[in-house]
Structure 1
Amino acid sequence: MPVRVVESSAPSQVSGASSGNTLPQACSLLTVGQTFSGTQNVSSLQNEKDEAWRVNVCIQGCDLDHGYLCGTMEALNVPMADTPVVTFWEGEIVDGKNYTFFTGKWEATPEDDIRHWTKFPSFSPLLSRVEADGGKTLDLSSYQYIFMRWKEQYFVNVGEDCGLTIAGFYYVCFSCSDGSISGFYYDPKSSPFQKLELKATNAGRSGFSFSTYEFQ
């Protein structure tokens, strides 16, 4: 979902070497076609009133072997938009093999990474190892949480002059137990720590689905 610019249980080897198989476990709720619904709080520091946009997410592709995920994000009640705003995003799954907890791009420093990851309670058991090497020696294959970064690539149904930005990216934590997703948006030019909260839905699996879009 584009963001308005404003001015202004532990893994099996937290303390041991990696076994070489660090890919996250397969999860039935992290598959192509799965949908999620929730909100993103976009309140700025200058605005004391909470403002949240309703958000729908649909997974379009998932390749755990290569740490890849992609999908669409639809923001509904965006004040400056006449219609829901849809973006296409690509995700990096933190697995110690393809991607670590250190972003290394998108203007994010290791300090930024730690500052955002530590906002997830499930990250606490991993902190010391991540500070040491980004988590390269962690075995996350049996962990009940999957950490990711989502980077929006382009607007699907509106132009870039819509008044919104997709310059930043999301730090994301996915719960394998209930399919819930929490995330924090990072962009130095936008309100900090905009929180994304989503829950898995049955849309598309019981007669309901989001709109379909043709990607070019």
Structure 2
Amino acid sequence: MPVRVEETSSSSSTSSSSSAPSQLSGENSSGHTSPPVCTLLTVGQAFSGTQNVSSLQKDEAWRVNVRIQGCDLDHGYLCGTMEALNVPMADTPVVTFWEGEIVDGKNYTFFTGKWEASSEDDIRHWTKFPSFQPFLEKVKVDGGKSLDLISYPYIFMRWKEQYFVNVGTDCGLTIAGFYYVCFSCTDGSINGFYYDPNSSPFQKLELKSTNEGRSGFSFSSYELQ
């Protein structure tokens, strides 16, 4: 979802966590363990909730819908659309297309390494998820390359919006930042925090899975250019 550029404030929030059952796992032909298999993280799955875009001036929350349009777990990739329904400066819902990186230790680590995010920024955002705490010390060393995430009941991701679908870039919103995301395989809930050094910090995304009909596309392999 696009986020309005605002002066940086010191607000922050935390997300909740809960225990979860074990997941299915396996190995591919190269001998690497595959990412966690989760029935709620699949093509066509829809989510709805809010994003808090509060600032020092006022509190505001946008209603948000997300749908997964593509998913390639072997390459740590997924993509989808995000729709913001009550953006004050927009006459219609604003839709963006995003691409995601799944933190699996093979394709991507907890260190972002781009989008103006330092390793300190990464640690500051990941530690807002209680489910990340067991990994903190190892992540500080190498970004979590040595971690075994295959049986963990949470999936960590980054979502980066690529373009506006139904409005122009002059709409008064920005998609310059990206989301740190934690996905629960128990109930399909999503918590995220938006990072953009030019926007209010720690804008919180909270989504729940819905029972809408599924649609989208899948592919056996996909390479980020």
Which TM class, normalised by the smaller chain length? Answer: 0.7 to 0.9
Task: Determine the C-alpha separation between the residues in 2 that align with 1:24 and 1:78.
Answer: 35
In structure 1, the gaps of 5 or more residues are 13-19, 210-216
Alignment gaps of 5+ in structure 2: 9-18, 23-30, 216-225
1:156 aligns with 2:165: yes
**Which whole-Å CA distance do the structure 2 matches of 1:21 and 1:120 have between them?**
27
Post-superposition offset of 1:22: 4.8
Of 104, 108, 120, the match for 2:129: 120
Displacement, 1:203?
Answer: 1.2
Match of 1:92 in 2: 101
Partners of 1:196 and 1:109 lie apart in 2 by 21
Q: What is the alpha-carbon distance in structure 2 between the residues aligned to residue 23 and residue 154 of structure 1?
A: 30
- Taking a change above 3 Å as real, the CA distance of residues 170 and 157 of structure 1, as seen in their structure-2 partners, is same
Give the corresponding residue for 1:3: 3
Deviations 1:57-110 (A, max 9, x none): 000001000000100000000000000000000000000000000000000000
Aligned pair 1:26/2:37, yes or no? yes
* Structure 2 equivalent of residue 67 of structure 1: 76
Query: Which structure 2 residues correspond to residues 19-58 of structure 1 after superposition, within 5 A?
Result: 21-44=32-55, 46-47=56-57, 49-58=58-67
Q: TM-score, normalised by structure 1?
A: 0.87
Q: Deviations over 1:100-150 (max 9, x none)?
A: 000000000000000000000000001011011100000100000000000
Confirm or deny that 1:203 pairs with 2:212: yes
SS at match of 1:96: coil
- Percent identity, aligned pairs only? 86
Residue identity matched to 1:98: N
Matches within 5 A, 1:176-187: 176-187=185-196
SS in 2 for 1:202: coil
- Give me the whole-angstrom Cα distance separating, in 1, the residues matched to 2:39 and 2:140: 31
TM-score, scaled relative to structure 2:
0.84
Is the 1:22–1:139 Cα contact (8 Å) retained in structure 2?
A: no
Separation (CA, whole Å) in 2 of partners of 1:6 and 1:68: 30
1:123 match: secondary structure: helix
Alpha-carbon separation, structure 2, partners of 1:161 and 1:123: 37
Structure 2 distance, partners of 1:92, 1:173, is 12
Task: Check conservation: 1:37, 1:200, Cα contact below 8 A.
Answer: yes
- Measured against aligned partners, the alpha-carbon deviations of 1:9-54 in whole angstroms (never above 9, x if no partner) come to 69x9xxxxxxx7454311000000000000000011x22x421000
Query: For residue 171 of structure 1, what is the aligned residue in structure 2?
Result: 180
